[in-house]
Chains A and B, each alone.
Chain A
């Protein structure tokens, strides 16, 4: 069902606020990954605040939907969403990446409530997500498993092992989302290792594909609704995004994949994001 305008406006407001928080906590941490956190903002926020069946008071509720951040370096945006949902106190965000804080540089499922899978080494999330989806089928549970992957991440061979498995086991309760921002650490994806026809690749592996603007909360929400209507095969939502989205000098720049934010850049980013408190 399409989202109402006021609901979309609420979600956009959350995204604006989350971008602000992101720049604050990454500036404070003086490390971490702004580019891929900003590109995934609408995707993660729409999942947590609109689509997923979860109970932050009961993080291990067995029928909950699962979200896996395959591209684990996007952790800060995941943590911001989890804190807002109440999985842990928002003040923990101020100690991101600091010694003694549970908010590890990359997500750790053992330490942080709401994190479903420890990720960081790229490519493992999809297979683990396939395992969760298979576990749901085996136990006749109706939860969905969402796996957010980076476009650089799908250069990992194990992604395609997992893609084959999800197809073989007919995991229509597994929804992949590709954060297709076109930029990786060393340069653009086209320069470093071109992905070719991404849609055709997934379809060749037996997946259904949906293409969407990854910064349009309404479109993301509808794509997920559509994905849930597809039976007998896994679905991937190919979400076209902009790396560094929302901070103009970071947009499309591989240099902002994982760079510490200096004082001048911090001020400039905050001024640009000033609308979202």
Chain B
């Protein structure tokens, strides 16, 4: 993988950020459904045992309890694997949290295929689409450890429900966060280009940067945009990219049905029709295996981004 590595996985940065926030804000509470070692909510549990609630293997009830907690003025972060955050928590997320616009933060760990060896049952490729369809929810999808920390803080500061998508692994740094400030709802142009735009989120951001390198070596100038806030989507930036380049490739570690690609396509259809191609998991189940093999098989590669970009510029 390209780029330097932070030395800390996104989830570890998340856990440590919770502790930092917890020191300043006594209304922050954290819930987990028996996977705190994996989600790294255990870091908070150790620092603030009285403000950490392990509810056992009962994700649906965790989300319902968080709804209740939030009505008393506390700000709950609930933690489980991203696949369960959707599939097990769906009803209370819709019926209690989204419906009443409650100040609950849902954190989905091990997003995409990042829990590779546990297989399709534990892969999360249907979470972005679900949370996009939940009124009132923000959807955040950071691309590396430092951005995860910034997204966590932004999620806390936002008054309202937020879904925060967390990767399992260490990921290469994608940005200089001194230069590129993290602002909710704003995409970040990581690299300018005039021929084609590569819009990516999460894991796919550093792969889009690698794809831009390859394209540059072949004479194609690719702009790279990191979308850390999938909802609300940065409409203006997408329209600008569609106006200034020949088309857009959208890359995400998620189903191509209803994810970031769909969000971008919706913006283009309504504002600035332009060629668009999708890199993501097709409408299929994945499988067990080492991460690199899975990413290759399911098309989540810099090479695939390059191929789709070339078709747009040719």
A162 interface hit (Cβ, 8 Å): yes
Q: How far is the CA of A241 from the CA of B71 in the complex (A)?
A: 31
A134 in contact with B68 given A62-B73, A165-B58 (CB within 8 Å): yes
- CB-based contact A121/B95 at 8 Å: yes
Q: Judge whether B51 and A138 touch: CB under 8 Å.
A: yes
Residues of A within 8 Å of B51, CB to CB, are 138
B61 and A162 contact, CB distance less than 8 A = yes
Interface SS, B side: helix
A121, A124, A168: most-surrounded residue (chain B CB, <10 A): A124
A109 CB–B CB distance under 8 Å: yes
Instruction: Check if A165 sits within 8 Å of B61, measured CB to CB.
Output: yes
Q: A162 contacts B100, CB within 8 Å? A: no
Q: Which secondary structure dominates chain A's binding surface? A: helix
Q: Does B60 contact A (CB under 8 A)?
A: yes
Chain A's nearest CB lies how many Å from the CB of B51?
A: 7
Q: In the complex, which residues 112-144 of chain A have their Cβ closer than 8 Å to any Cβ of chain B?
A: 116-121, 124, 126-136, 138-139, 141
- Is B68 a contact of A127 with CB atoms below 8 Å? yes
CB pair B29–A127 under 8 Å, yes or no, is no
Nearest chain A residue, comparing its CB with the CB of B104? A131
- Answer whether residue A83 sits at the interface, using C-beta atoms and an 8 A cutoff: no
Partner of A169, one of B53, B58, B74, B99: B53
Interface contact B96-A118, CB-CB below 8 Å: yes
Contact A164 B100 (CB under 8 A): no
**Cβ of B53: which chain A residues have Cβ within 8 Å of it?**
134, 169
Complex CA–CA separation, A145 to B50 (angstroms): 21
Tell me the nearest residue of chain A to B33, going by C-beta: A161
Q: In the complex, what residues of A have CB within 8 A of residue B73's CB? A: 62, 135, 139
Q: A108, B91: Cβ atoms under 8 Å? A: no
Please determine whether A124 and B71 come into contact, CB atoms closer than 8 angstroms: no
Query: Contact between A131 and B67 (Cβ–Cβ < 8 Å)?
Result: yes
Report B28 CB to chain A, min CB distance, Å. Answer: 11
What chain A residues lie within 8 Å of B21 (beta carbons)?
Answer: none
Say how far A115's CB is from chain B's closest CB, in angstroms: 9
Contacts of B101 in A (CB 8 A): 110
A52 interface residue (CB < 8 Å to B): no
Report the separation of the CA atoms of residues A118 and B68 in the bound assembly, to the nearest whole angstrom: 11
Residue B65, interface by CB 8 Å = yes
CA distance A168 to B58 in the complex (A): 13
Q: Is the CB of A121 within 8 A of B91?
A: yes
Find out whether the CB atom of A124 lies under 8 angstroms from the CB atom of B91: yes
Task: Tell me, yes or no, whether B55 is within 8 Å of chain A by CB.
Answer: yes
Residues of A within 8 A of B29 (CB): 138
Q: How far is the CB of B72 from the nearest CB of chain A, in Å? A: 3
B residues 72-102 near A (Cβ < 8 Å) are: 72-74, 76, 91-92, 95-96, 99-101
Instruction: Known pairs A129-B68, A135-B69; list 6 more (Cβ under 8 Å).
Output: A66-B71, A109-B100, A128-B92, A130-B68, A131-B72, A161-B60
Interface residue ranges, B against A (CB under 8 Å): 29, 50-51, 53, 55-56, 58, 60-61, 63-74, 76, 91-92, 95-96, 99-101
Name A residues whose Cβ lies closer than 8 Å to a Cβ of B.
62, 66, 108-110, 116-121, 124, 126-136, 138-139, 141, 145, 158, 161-162, 164-165, 168-169
15 contacts between A and B (CB under 8 A): A108-B100, A109-B71, A117-B100, A121-B95, A124-B67, A129-B68, A130-B64, A132-B71, A135-B72, A135-B73, A145-B68, A158-B61, A158-B64, A161-B61, A162-B61
Which 10 interchain pairs have the tightest Cβ spacing? A131-B68, A127-B64, A135-B72, A161-B61, A131-B65, A161-B58, A128-B68, A132-B68, A131-B69, A127-B61
